[in-house]
Amino acid sequence: MKSFSIDRFSKLARWSLTIDKKYHVKSFFQNLIVLTLTFVFFTSIDFTVNQQDANYLPCAIATVVAFAVTLVLGSSFMFYSMSGKHDMQRLLMLPASNLEKYLMRYASWIILVPIQLVAFFAADLIQYVFGLVVGHEQVKLVTNAVIETCQADMPLSYRMTFVWLFVWLHSLYAVGATFFRFRKHNWIATSLVLIVVGILLSALAGHWQNVNMLWWNNQDYFNLLFLALVVVNFWLSYRFFCRTQVIGKYINV
């Protein structure tokens, strides 16, 4: 069997989308309800002309954080739609290569981004209509506040640093998704590991100034280092996936 076949992968994708349909619908309504309640709550607190921007700012921040969490933790959602070992057994028995199965499970979180985006626009429209109905003055869309927040002045080097940090963390959660067997809580185990590692690294706080100087003086080299780490993390994630067994306790080794 070839490692990758477009025809076989397309059949696997159609099967996965059918199986995960209920999970995606549930995710849409969860995002819609949470975002709607958040927008209506903040835009209804002491709503005056002077407070308008102050009220919409928390909505924009909540939206940015929600999407950032999805982008960073998304790789840990590979198996969220699976309810038990029987679903995993069915996945492992599918007539497809491990690479195709891994790519499909990884891609399953990407579908959450447009779902969350549609839920955001729907929640924004609901809060807009709600504001008009109850008589709020100068009602506006949260979308405008989000755009203004994202357009805040920030050096390009800082933006690239955040991008690389997010991508690196995303790859680490991909490792945790296939290393830990807690399918719906692997992100918690991964986060705990990262916290412990962060605490240990904080003991080297005296050297952070030197590292910071090296970063800004050799940013291109550090970008290549981050890229190499991301590639290694995804390779490890795939290798752990290949070692997945139906029967097991905590980790795939």
Q: Residue 59: name the closest of 41, 45, 40, 39 by CA.
A: 39
- Element housing 112 (H / E): helix 112-134
Quote the tokens at residue 155.
């050096």
Nearest to 130 by CA among 40, 12, 49: 40
Question: What is the widest separation between alpha-carbon atoms in the chain?
Answer: 66
What is the structure's pLDDT at 247? 62
The two structure tokens encoding residue 197? 């590692």
Residue given tokens 């869309």 in the structure block: 141
The residue among 179, 211, 12, 4 whose CA lies nearest residue 94 is 12
pTM of structure: 0.83
Rounded average pLDDT per 10-residue block, the chain, 253 residues: 80 86 91 94 69 75 92 88 71 82 89 94 94 82 87 70 87 90 79 86 60 58 81 93 71 65
Q: What is the pLDDT of residue 211?
A: 56
> How many other β-carbons are positioned within 10 Å of the β-carbon of residue 100?
23
The answer to whether the Cα torsion of 138, 143, 149, 154 is positive or negative is: negative
For residues 137 and 144, give the distance between their C-alpha atoms in angstroms, rounded to a whole number: 16
Helix residue ranges, H only, the chain: 6-19, 21-43, 52-73, 85-92, 98-107, 112-134, 142-150, 156-179, 186-202, 208-217, 219-242
Amino acid 43: pLDDT: 85
What tokens does 148 get?
Answer: 């203004």
